[in-house]
Chain A
Amino acid sequence: DTEVTQTPKHLVMGMTNKKSLKCEQHMGHRAMYWYKQKAKKPPELMFVYSYEKLSINESVPSRFSPECPNSSLLNLHLHALQPEDSALYLCASSQQTGRRGGNTIYFGEGSWLTVV
């Protein structure tokens, strides 16, 4: 099983709503990532979790709140978003071994978020 599963595939939310994006992997990976991707742009790193602890926050606004409840799950809680936050949100995972640079990163298909 080499899949990263993201739900929902599409989400429309108002600026006052609270919603969550979910990501799941069963490959035993201990590094998990959130990326944001705008149209015709490369993915931008948001957060990295390593062994269920937040290790990188790329100065992401606090209206985005990540959570890693266990080694297989990664959530992104959304609150008071702006229309410019509309984008594709990608989850990814990889092994955490000593030779991290050689490890493959597996991406999910993403969650398309529209903020109205």
Chain B
Amino acid sequence: DAKTTQPNSMESNEEEPVHLPCNHSTISGTDYIHWYRQLPSQGPEYVIHGLTSNVNNRMASLAIAEDRKSSTLILHRATLRDAAVYYCILRELKTSYDKVIFGPGTSLSVIP
């Protein structure tokens, strides 16, 4: 399985943009890049995903490097509610099984 690496922790000021990096140098051509986050005492929740092109949704933007070996989750204006652990996960395009493995993730702190 392709692996991802993320910084253990990051800090951001409230209302400022946050760029959360993820390296996935062994990504295959058919791996999707997914981001999930886990707020304290809750289950993980979906944030965004992409394959090759940059993606935007109401929660965040995903910037994918041209060689796909890295990606960046962008929160445009951090709020206190965005303090969470952010997980970058690779998922195969087509698979006979769905082995979704979490790495350690990045713990984001937001300073008021």
Which of B32, B45, B98, B102 has most chain A Cβ within 10 Å?
B98
In whole Å, how far is B102's beta carbon from the nearest beta carbon of chain A?
4
Could you say which residues of chain B place their CB within 8 Å of the CB of A42?
A: 85, 87, 102-105
Q: At the interface, yes or no: A106 with Cβ under 8 Å from chain B?
A: yes
Q: Are B44 and A33 in contact (CB under 8 A)?
A: no
Interchain CB contact (< 8 A) of A102 among B45, B49, B96, B100: B49
Q: At the interface, yes or no: A94 with Cβ under 8 Å from chain B?
A: yes
Could you say which residues of chain A place their CB within 8 Å of the CB of B49?
A: 102, 104
Could you say which residues of chain B place their CB within 8 Å of the CB of A74?
A: none
CB-based nearest B residue for A43: B102
In whole Å, how far is A41's beta carbon from the nearest beta carbon of chain B?
8
Question: What number of A-B contacts does a CB cutoff of 8 Å give?
Answer: 77
Q: Are A107 and B97 in contact (CB under 8 A)?
A: no
Could you say which residues of chain A place their CB within 8 Å of the CB of B44?
A: 43, 90, 92, 105, 107
Interchain CB contact (< 8 A) of B32 among A102, A107, A110: A102
- Residues B32-56 near A (CB distance < 8 A): 32, 34, 36, 42-46, 49, 51
In whole Å, how far is A44's beta carbon from the nearest beta carbon of chain B?
8
Give the complex CA separation of A109 and B108 in angstroms. 20
A/B interface sample: 23 pairs, CB < 8 A: A33-B100, A42-B105, A45-B99, A45-B101, A48-B98, A48-B99, A55-B96, A56-B97, A56-B98, A90-B43, A90-B44, A94-B98, A100-B93, A100-B95, A101-B92, A101-B93, A102-B32, A102-B51, A104-B46, A105-B36, A105-B44, A107-B43, A110-B43
Nearest first, the 8 A-B pairs at minimum CB distance are A107-B43, A42-B102, A101-B32, A101-B93, A101-B91, A104-B46, A55-B97, A107-B44
B→A interface (CB under 8 Å): 30-32, 34, 36, 42-46, 49, 51, 85, 87, 91-105
A→B interface (CB under 8 Å): 4, 31, 33, 41-45, 48, 50, 55-56, 90, 92, 94, 96, 98-110
Known: A44-B102, A98-B94. 9 other contacts (CB 8 A): A33-B98, A45-B99, A45-B102, A92-B100, A99-B93, A100-B91, A106-B46, A107-B44, A110-B42
